[in-house]
Amino acid sequence: MKKILLTTTIFSLCTFLGNSQITINVEGQTTDISGTTLDINIDPSSGSIPTTGEYLLDLEIHNNTGVNKSWKVTRKEVSVPAAWSDMICFTSCFPPSTLTTYCTPLALNINNGASGIVILHFTPEEAIAATATYRYYVSVDCATYEDSVDIRFNYTLGLKTTKLNPTFNIAPNPANDYTVISSNGVDNSNVKIVDVLGNVVYTETISATKKIDLSDFKNGIYFITIETSDSKISNRKLIIRH
């Protein structure tokens, strides 16, 4: 699986429960897209992106409300072709749902001034050009919505696309019993986790998304090195607190 995105933000949607103290942005970007529609253009016919599989989008939800929050994510199908499927990773990865409106069963605690990552998976119908629109709510109890963003997925043929450099996300971080590594623009990568003494405590080759069990790790700071097949290396710090 790969995550290849060509994005354009259109400031058109104003949700009636929007909260200026909550901001949402694409991971690695700074533009607040809460209360807007985000267009994602994918061309499966281009040689620079895969012809099948899932496409991933990482969103950061920032809590600037002044108090700690416990949030879920509610996904509503606004206009989605019947053959499409989707999945949400938020605290954990939840399987695709056939429900028009779906709410993650677990909430993520986000302290004031901190942020959480939600990883959105999209699987279009292969080789069929179509557009799908999903709405994602920042939800307190699957019914009380505090903010939202629309994702309009334009699965088209013949667009000129640009291959993006590989990027990686690690969430949750700080972590307790597990963390999830998700990649963008790379098929396989070698992951190595090293403790502060230089001891290698974990190695594995991953593809797209990998949930790592941390229950046997000691509390402390660790360093994650991710190396792709073309020797591009990314270094991240991971904090474990049981």
pTM score of the predicted model: 0.60
160-192 pLDDT, tens per residue? 444 556 677 888 988 999 999 887 766 678 899
The amino acid present at 241, given as its one-letter code, is R
pLDDT of residue 196: 85
Segments making up each domain of the chain, as ranges = 7-155, 167-240
* Better pLDDT: 169 or 4: 169
97-146 pLDDT, tens per residue? 788 999 999 999 999 999 999 988 888 887 788 999 999 999 998 989 99
Do residues 159 and 225 lie in contact, with contact meaning Cβ atoms separated by under 8 Å? no
Reply yes or no on domain 167-240 having CATH 2.60.290.11: no
Cβ neighbourhood burial of 182 (10 Å; 0-12, 13-18, 19+): buried
Per-residue pLDDT for 17 more than 70? Answer: no
195-219 pLDDT, tens per residue? 988 889 999 988 778 899 999 999 9
Per-residue pLDDT for 9 more than 60? Answer: no
Per-residue pLDDT for 34 more than 60? Answer: yes
Q: Which of 123, 108, 132 is nearest to 59 (CA)?
A: 108
- H or E stretch including 133? strand 130-139
Q: Token digits for 61? A: 């939800």
CATH topology agreement for domains 7-155 and 167-240:
yes
Per-residue pLDDT for 58 more than 50? Answer: yes
Cα gap 53→103, rounded to integer Å: 24
pLDDT of residue 227: 84
Q: Which fold has domain 7-155?
A: Immunoglobulin-like (2.60.40)
